[in-house]
Amino acid sequence: MLTIENIKSNFSYIKAIFDNSESYHNTDNYFNLGDFTDIYFESINQNVKQEQIDIYNSFKLNHTKYLSEIEQYFIKYLNNYELNHIDQIKQKELFFDVIYIPNKNNNYDLALICSREYQKYFIFKKSISLRVEFKNNSISSVKRPKNITNENSINN
């Protein structure tokens, strides 16, 4: 289980160059969901709230309960070409790429960027990425946006 002390001692502190944002970054392992996942805790004045830690720890313990729902969204957001290759896509490994825990956000408590890669042509791979936002331990919104860094409420 993560603690504030773990974050301050084991995570890298990142201060944005162009704005006032800051965060702590490290990686974590979600077995069978990629080799590693980038974890970002948004901070204010180099401080992370215990509430953020609790949200992350709860997600880490319970992440498998969301997998079937996330799988359904992957199918929902496939385009026509991808639907013709649905069996191949379903067989590919699901990756948890990034988990972001905001310091304070009214729309979500945790954002998960997850993806799948599949062989589109002989040597070319195609990635399908979803942004999954959680509020109060449940999925509140899912999108397949062009810019995965934007909040789902911004992605119309």
Count of residues in the chain: 156
Q: What is the mean pLDDT of residues 116-131?
A: 82
Torsion-angle region of 28 (φ positive above 0: left; ψ -120 to 50: alpha; else: beta): beta
Distance CA 142, CA 130 (A): 7
pTM, to two decimals: 0.91
User: What does DSSP say about strands 95-101 and 37-42: parallel, antiparallel, or unpaired?
Assistant: parallel
User: pLDDT higher for 69 or 127?
Assistant: 69
DSSP 3-state of 82: helix
In angstroms, the Cα distances linking 14 to 4, 19, 94, 123, 147 are: 16, 12, 28, 36, 21
Q: Mind giving me the DSSP string for 25-53?
A: EEEE--TTS-S-EEEEEE-BTTB--HHHH
What is residue 122's predicted lDDT score, i.e. its pLDDT?
Answer: 72
Instruction: Check pLDDT > 60 for residue 126.
Output: yes
DSSP 3-state of 54: helix
Q: What percent of the chain has pLDDT over 90?
A: 60
Measured in degrees and rounded to the nearest 5, phi and psi for residue 150 equal -80, 145
Distance CA 80, CA 85 (A): 9
In the numeric block, which tokens belong to residue 103? 């310091």
Query: pLDDT (tens digit, 9 = 90+) per residue, 11-28?
Result: 999 998 777 789 999 999
